[in-house]
Every structure is written in C-alpha cells, then in structure tokens.
Amino acid sequence: MPKFCANLTWLFTELPFLERFEAAKDAGFDAVEVLFPYDVNAQDIVNALTKHELDMALINCPPPNYKGGPQGFAAVPGLEDRFRKDFGRALRYAQTLGAQHLHIMSGVADGAEAKPTFISNLRWAAEQAPDQSLTIEPINNDTMPGYFLNNFDLGREIVTSIDAPNLRLQFDTFHAAKITGDVLGTWDAMRDITAHVQVAQMPDRAEPDQGEIDYPAFFAMLDAQGYAGWIAGEYRPRQTTVDGLGWVTDNS
C-alpha cells in the first residue's frame, strides 16, 4: 500500500505553520515534509511532530537563509565554503527533527566547473553525514530557470559516480513530466536509485488526480514494484487542502 506524506510548505497553508501538523494528522497522514523549516524554532517543530505522532520525511538543504536568497548553491563554483557551513546547520536541523531525507539543492550554475563542484560537494556531504540519507532532485528549468540539475540522466550520472550508500535520487513527477514528458518511463529508468517521491498533476501542479498523469496507474505500479518510501503531495491545492484529498483516500 502506498505511504502518502503531506508537504506542509504547500499544503494546509490556510493555517498557521505549526497548526498544519495537526491538520495533516487529522487528514490521515503519518508523515510530513517541510522544504525550508529554518525560520521556525526546531524544538517547536519537534513538539508538533511528537504530539501528533508524525514522522518528518524530508527537508531541503541549503540554504537556511532561503527567503530572498538563491535556491541552493551546491553546484556553484567558488561557494564551497558557504555550502559546507550551511550544510552543517541544515544537517543539525535534520537530525533534530529526525528527518529521513535531506535534499541538497544544486542551485543555478553552468559552465565546465559546475558538475565537478556539485560532485565534490555531494561526496564531501555524504562522507560527513554517513548516517543521513541525502537526495538530489532534477528540477525543470521552467520552474527554476538555470537550475543546474535539470535532467534525470545527469542525476543518475552524479549518483552513480559518487556511489555513496546514503546518496539517492528524489523523483518529482511534475518535474519528470516537464523534463521528459514520460513519467512512467522515467520512473522505470530511475527507480533503482530513487529514495523519495513527490507528486503533483500536470499542467497546473495541483492535486494528483484528473489531468495528464495517470496517478492510479502510477501508484499501483509503485506498489507492485515494492517501493517502500514516502510519496509526498507537493502541489498547489485548487481549493482548500482537505477538499482535494480524494487522491489519498482513493489510492490507499
């Protein structure tokens, strides 16, 4: 049976942040993810997770100072010292929250030095945190113009070249649809290196129900293949979050 998870950065935003944990539990979720939790006291988040018996599936890294700043810089030549400093803070947050995965963002970068910089930073991070699952996520360039990790073949190349047991791929169906136009085929090609899944419908990035992607088929395929990780709803609800949770009940 698929294990569904709520992304509290995108869902239940009609509520103050710390109230979203209770709403997620009441809606039937057993885990949540938060993209950038760094503006909230970590202990307050731990208290909310504990009170409502929720697991933290994933947080993003870096940057802790996300608002108004770059969306990651792990592939940006010359910012290695900043990456290491902010990775340390993000790792402490992840450990405090019990986050299963820490998603390392490449940031906007190009040129000959971007890939070796990304690989070097990821290899360093994997060695620094051998007990922490780390993920990287291909993100389409319409959503994040100039984002370095913008295709799945590059993601596979990086994961396999580093060959660290704690570094895997994060598979977002919306980005897969935008990048390749073939979610099921891309999943089949990447599932052996994937640790975490996020879902949203095409083309509006809303609930994973009616639209271009056949989600009942996708969820059934993951279940049949024995995928045991979380499937996180990272989408923009069309109305209230609760009104759009039929995709969870229909596929559970």
With contact defined as beta carbons under 8 Å apart, do 102 and 59 qualify? yes
* 80 assigned to active site: no
In degrees, rounded to 5, the angle at the alpha carbon of residue 123 between the alpha carbons of residues 8 and 183 is 50
Query: One of 14, 33, 127, 137 is an active-site residue; which one?
Result: 137
Phi, psi angles (nearest 5°) of residue 196: -150, 140
Query: One of 157, 207, 212, 234 is an active-site residue; which one?
Result: 234
* 234 assigned to active site: yes
Closest CA to 61 of 97, 33, 96, 88: 88
With contact defined as beta carbons under 8 Å apart, do 135 and 145 qualify? no
**Residues identified as active-site:** 137, 234
